[in-house]
């Protein structure tokens, strides 16, 4: 079940919201949210809900052992990490490893055909962060397994994040306030996220998929650039829209999640991009991989090596395929050359630095989206040498509808340009007036109505981060 589905919007969410409001007290609400969260996950993958329950029990048990046996807590931490990574590795990377071995050594090992549990990367990282920070002494052990289960399985952030660290939600599990203002703010945020996903991302996705799925031999340089641009917008509005909906839903039920996006496409460097894009994942790798490896405290070479490791793992986390690994290493390469001196050059011109950042990011998304590295290289070649590729049997009119063009224009305006304009001076006063006004309420009503109409008409409704 996805947030942008009629079942969720008209059945699941209203029932859960009314039930929690009627219960009023925190403990019954938590039990209700836990049961409905497990049902939410089981809706799409009934058998894998038992995998999640096992993961919850395992991490709760290791947490209890760490708390109980201080002298052996490092051993239990290591065992917990090994078990979590083993689960993730088995379900997500077994077939990837087999295919890679087959290609390298012609071993002809049959693939296992293991299906990927939805959201396993997200809930595994959340569970690990709980045990690791417990070991570090950042909070007391959660003895109530139901409370820990709610933290790991809470449906707003279960299948696509943001990755919520336990220290950010610990107190809220047992002590939170559900007010009219907070509920209204949550629905407001949810409505914006729904519009991002359904009105912009879904409509752009139609054109993006048409371009990426066409025969590359028929793709002109202009089509290659449009494919990259469209996917750049699609993935941002897809994922940031889903994060907005998750944050809004959390707020409706009294929880405050940290932001996951901060207009990454206004960045002036790749380092800045990663401070703005998928913030919860960047923070996770910083706190649990980069800093434990030494960060930038052990000399220049170790700093660069640590960056390589982090971005290799970042790419691998996103998907069990070499194009994801290449995408991660590609970003790591630009992080390193910015550290070597390019970053100082970029600071001299905001315009040039922004063009550079978006050029790098757009090309990176090509490799992220394709099914093979060779396919990505073929598209990028047309982007870099457009004058060589000017003929096609297809026309833009066949591939990109007017609806998609309008969504692209709205997407470009809304991914940072409009927000930057209204961030200062007299425009800021307009922005402050708009927030919470009757005009904004009317606008959001239109956004929700249009989104529902599009969903009712079976609008193309893919979700990129389900596969992670």
Mean pLDDT of 139-147: 95
pLDDT of residue 371: 87
Q: What is the pLDDT of residue 44?
A: 72
pTM: 0.94
Over 80: is that where the pLDDT of 262 sits?
Answer: yes
Q: Which two tokens stand for residue 420?
A: 């930057």
Lowest mean pLDDT among 62-66, 132-136, 416-420, 421-425: 421-425
What pLDDT does residue 467 have?
59
Indicate the pLDDT class of residue 466, thresholds 50, 70 and 90.
low
pLDDT above 80 (res 458): no
pLDDT of res. 423: 72
- What whole-number percentage of the chain has pLDDT above 70? 98
Extract the tokens encoding 18: 């009314």
pLDDT tens for residues 3-18?
888 899 999 999 999 9
What pLDDT is stored for residue 436 in this prediction?
83
pLDDT for residue 425: 74
Please report the pLDDT score of residue 427 as a whole number. Answer: 74
pLDDT at 465 over 70: no
Q: What is the pLDDT of residue 160?
A: 83
pLDDT-derived band at 36, boundaries 50, 70, 90:
very high
Lowest-confidence segment of 144-153, 161-170, 353-362 by average pLDDT: 161-170
- Mean pLDDT across the stretch 287-301? 91
Per-residue pLDDT averaged across 269-293, rounded? Answer: 95
**pLDDT grade for 463, boundaries at 50, 70 and 90:** low
- pLDDT value of residue 111: 87
Q: What is the pLDDT of residue 397?
A: 87
318 contacts 467 by C-beta, under 8 angstroms: no
* 380, pLDDT greater than 90: yes
- Residues involved in catalysis: 318
Tell me: cis bond preceding 162? Omega within 30 of 0 counts: yes
Q: What's the rounded Cα separation, in Å, for the pair 48 and 88?
A: 13
pLDDT higher than 80, residue 283? yes
Q: Worst-scoring range by mean pLDDT, 75-79, 172-176, 405-409?
A: 172-176
pLDDT tens digits, 317-331: 998 899 999 999 999
Give residue 417's pLDDT band: very low, low, confident or very high (50, 70, 90).
confident
- DSSP result, 244-271: HHHHHHHHHTT--PPP--S-GGG-SSHH
């Amino acid at each position: 079940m996805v947030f942008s589905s009629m079942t969720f919007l008209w059945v699941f969410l209203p029932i859960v919201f009314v039930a929690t409001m009627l219960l009023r007290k925190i403990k019954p609400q938590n039990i209700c949210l836990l049961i409905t969260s497990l049902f939410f996950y089981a809706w799409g993958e009934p058998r894998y809900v038992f995998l999640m329950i096992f993961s919850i029990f395992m991490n709760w048990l290791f947490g209890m052992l760490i708390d109980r046996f201080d002298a052996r807590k490092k051993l239990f931490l290591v065992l917990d990490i090994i078990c979590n990574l083993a689960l993730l590795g088995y379900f997500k990377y077994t077939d990837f490893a087999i295919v890679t071995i087959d290609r390298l050594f012609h071993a002809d090992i049959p693939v296992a055909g293991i299906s990927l549990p939805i959201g396993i990367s997200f809930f595994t990282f959340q569970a690990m962060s709980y045990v690791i920070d417990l070991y570090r002494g950042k909070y007391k052990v959660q003895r109530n397994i139901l409370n820990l289960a709610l933290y790991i399985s809470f449906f707003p952030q279960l299948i696509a994040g943001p990755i919520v660290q336990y220290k950010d939600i610990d107190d809220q599990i047992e002590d939170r306030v559900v007010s009219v203002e907070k509920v209204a703010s949550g629905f407001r945020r949810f409505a914006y996220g729904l519009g991002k996903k359904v009105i912009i991302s879904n409509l752009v996705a139609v054109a993006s998929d048409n371009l990426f799925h066409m025969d590359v031999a028929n793709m002109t340089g202009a089509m290659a650039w449009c494919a990259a641009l469209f996917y750049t917008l699609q993935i941002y509005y897809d994922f940031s829209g889903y994060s907005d909906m998750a944050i809004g839903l959390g707020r409706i039920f009294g929880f405050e999640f940290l932001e996951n996006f901060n207009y990454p496409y206004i960045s002036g460097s790749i380092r800045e991009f990663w401070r703005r894009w998928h913030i919860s994942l960047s923070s996770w790798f910083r706190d649990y991989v980069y800093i434990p490896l030494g960060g930038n405290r052990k000399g220049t070479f170790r700093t660069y090596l640590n960056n390589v490791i982090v971005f290799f793992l970042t790419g691998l986390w996103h998907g069990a395929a070499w194009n994801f690994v290449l995408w991660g290493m590609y970003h790591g390469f630009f992080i390193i050359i910015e550290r070597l001196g390019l970053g100082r050059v970029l600071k001299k011109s905001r315009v040039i630095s922004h063009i550079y950042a978006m050029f790098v990011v757009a090309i990176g998304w090509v490799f992220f989206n394709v099914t093979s590295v060779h396919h990505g290289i073929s598209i990028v070649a047309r982007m870099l040498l457009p004058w060589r590729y000017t003929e096609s049997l297809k026309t833009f009119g066949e591939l990109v509808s007017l609806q998609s063009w309008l969504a692209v224009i709205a997407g470009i305006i809304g991914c940072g340009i409009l927000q930057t304009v209204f961030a200062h001076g007299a425009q800021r006063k307009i922005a402050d007036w708009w927030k919470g006004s009757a005009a904004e309420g009317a606008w959001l009503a239109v956004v929700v109505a249009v989104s529902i109409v599009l969903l009712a008409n079976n609008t193309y409704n893919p979700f990129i981060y389900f596969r992670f």
